[in-house]
Amino acid sequence: MNTIKKQLFGLLFAAAAVGAWAQDYPNRPIRILVPNAPGSSVDTMTRILSNRLGEALGGASIVVENRDGAGGLIGMDVGRKAAPDGYTLITVSNGSGVIAPLLKKVRPYDTAQDFELIGTFAITPNVLVVNPQLPVNSVKELIDYARAHRDSINMASAGVGSQSHLAGALLMTMGNFESLHVPHKGGGPSVASVAAGQTHWTLTPAPAAMSQVKAGRLRVLAQSLPRRSAILGELPPIAETVPGYDFNGWAGLIAPKGTPRAVIERVQAAMAKTLATPEVRDGLAGQGADLFPGNTEEFRKFLAQDVANTERVMKAAQLQPE
């Protein structure tokens, strides 16, 4: 057997072995790494998805493991170094997949190049919320109030470079007003500070705020999608007052680089089944998130556009990589 034939035989044998192995996948528990804190919007959405994803994978056991810290860099690094065998998946968001690496002069990873993209599953509009005692009931009124009280009004965020920081900075830039930025250690504390009246307003992922809105501890003024959304009822988009405003979160699944394509496709098919269930659709909607299904190539195109948009927003927020 000549060299070329040996190489072809080897490739065919390897492909057959991978195919047979993939047909048996999964035969042990799968872990989904979440580079966010327990109870965060990304964590909550992951658990809603995972509850049915295991069933769609033939009754597989799925364990959600939180590895938060450094804006998502820690969890993403753990996932990047995991064995590419299909038994480690990672929930990625714009925070961990785009913002965190862009904040570093030397990017620790490129999500599109250093991982296998499985697919997106949710889009999370940000909601503009204020303390109920603030005498504003619309985006225009907030802008007018901020212009009249520029020395005393402040904006909470989940931290420097967080999604809420960038969303708020973009609104201030496009709306031509100012507020003192008050960063917190996470979305929960920042939203709580607005509810307590320690800060005045924030633009935060809907899943992090809607329970407080329903309880009357926050007043919601608008949302960040460029259009009205069924999941948010009649809540107007910010773009109706500030034309062109559009800054939202998202979530998807990725895997370590080198995970076999057959496994990726198996998980993709299971995700499609999962997202079609009323339980997952309603569960995400209850968190203020909408279904956002996308395959590998759709994910890749979306990710490239989100990186470009985020770089533009970081420039508006005068954020420099460190």
Shared-domain flag, residues 101 and 155: no
CATH number (domain holding residue 141): 3.40.190.10
Cα separations (Å) of 94 from 76, 90, 249, 307?
12, 13, 6, 9
pLDDT, one tens digit per residue, over 264-302 is 999 999 999 999 999 999 999 888 888 999 999 999 999
Shared-domain flag, residues 69 and 134: no
C-alpha to C-alpha distance for 56 and 273, rounded to whole angstroms: 7
Shared-domain flag, residues 221 and 275: no
Residue 204 sits at the vertex; the CA angle it makes with 202 and 208, to the nearest 5 degrees, is 120
pTM for the model = 0.82
DSSP-assigned letter for residue 37: -
Shared-domain flag, residues 200 and 182: yes
Shared-domain flag, residues 225 and 252: no
pLDDT, one tens digit per residue, over 54-103 is 999 999 999 999 999 888 999 999 999 999 999 999 999 999 999 999 99
CB 52 within 8 A of CB 274: yes
Domain with 157 in it = 125-240
pLDDT, one tens digit per residue, over 125-181 is 999 999 999 999 999 999 999 999 999 999 999 888 888 999 999 999 999 999 999
Shared-domain flag, residues 271 and 130: no
**Domain closes at, from 240, 265, 289:** 240
Tokens found for residue 232:
């948010």
Shared-domain flag, residues 298 and 260: yes
